[in-house]
């Protein structure tokens, strides 16, 4: 019985999965091409949420081997999270700094 591909709990996860695909496509299709790099880097940071999974497998491990693998996973996932968010912020900070100098330039141009 445990071998069935679809029992209720799994169907729940599958539902979340399918709906997330639609949300993902819907949200991303509105991102303008000037923000494609921050989009990649931002979504990069988001998949760093695997850190939670890494914490869990390390925190519930019972052998040296799984402890080592879990520990490595925590390190890699942390790198992913902090690196992803920091890089994205650096990029977006640059995009943010625009409005004021831009107005000045337009005045000069006119």
Partner 1 sequence: MSRGTILDLCYLVAAVTFILALKGLSNPKRARTGNFIAMAGMALAIGATFFQPGLSHIGLIVIGMVIGAVVGIPASRMVKMTAMPQLVAIFNGVGGGAAALVAMTEFLGFGGQKPATYVTLEVLVGVLIGTVSFAGSAIAFIKLQELITGRPITYPGQQIVNALLGIGAIGLVIAVLITASTPLLWALLAVSALLGVLLVLPIGGADVPVLISLLNSLTGLAVAASGFTLGNNLLIVAGTLVGASGLLLTQMMCKAMGRSLPNILFSAFGSATITSSGGSQEDRPVRSATPEDIGVMLAYAHKVAIIPGYGLAVAQAQHIARELADELESKGIEVFYAIHPVAGRMPGHMNVLLAEANVPYDKLLEMDEANPQLGQCDVALVVGANDTVNPAAREAGSPISGMPIINADDAAQVVFLKRSMRPGFAGIENELLFNEKTTLVFGDAKETLTKMVASLAAS
The pattern of x and - marking residues 7 through 36 that bind partner 1 according to CB under 8 A reads --xx--x--xx--xx-xxx-xxxxxxxxxx
According to CB under 8 A, which residues from 75 to 104 bind partner 1? 75-99, 101-102
Instruction: Quote the CA–CA distance of 13 and 54 in Å, as a whole number.
Output: 19
What does the CA dihedral 94, 99, 100, 105 come to, rounded to 10 degrees? 100
Least separation in angstroms between CB 10 and partner 1: 6
CB of 104 to partner 1, least distance (A): 10
Q: Does 108 bind partner 1 (CB under 8 A)?
A: yes
- Our CA dihedral for 56, 57, 59, 61, rounded to 10 degrees, sits at 160
The rounded radius of gyration (Å) of the Cα atoms in the chain is: 21
* Closest CB 28 distance from partner 1, rounded Å: 4
Binding flag, residue 2, partner 1 (CB under 8 A): yes
């Amino acid at each position: 019985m445990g071998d069935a591909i679809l029992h209720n709990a799994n169907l729940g996860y599958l539902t979340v999965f399918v709906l997330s695909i639609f949300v993902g496509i819907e949200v991303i299709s509105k991102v303008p091409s000037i923000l494609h790099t921050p989009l990649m880097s931002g979504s990069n940071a988001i998949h760093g949420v695997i850190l939670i999974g890494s914490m869990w497998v390390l925190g519930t491990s019972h052998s040296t081997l799984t402890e080592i693998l879990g520990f490595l996973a925590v390190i890699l996932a942390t790198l992913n999270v902090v690196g992803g968010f920091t890089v994205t912020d650096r990029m977006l900070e640059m995009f943010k700094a625009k409005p004021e100098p831009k107005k000045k330039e337009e005045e000069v141009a006119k």
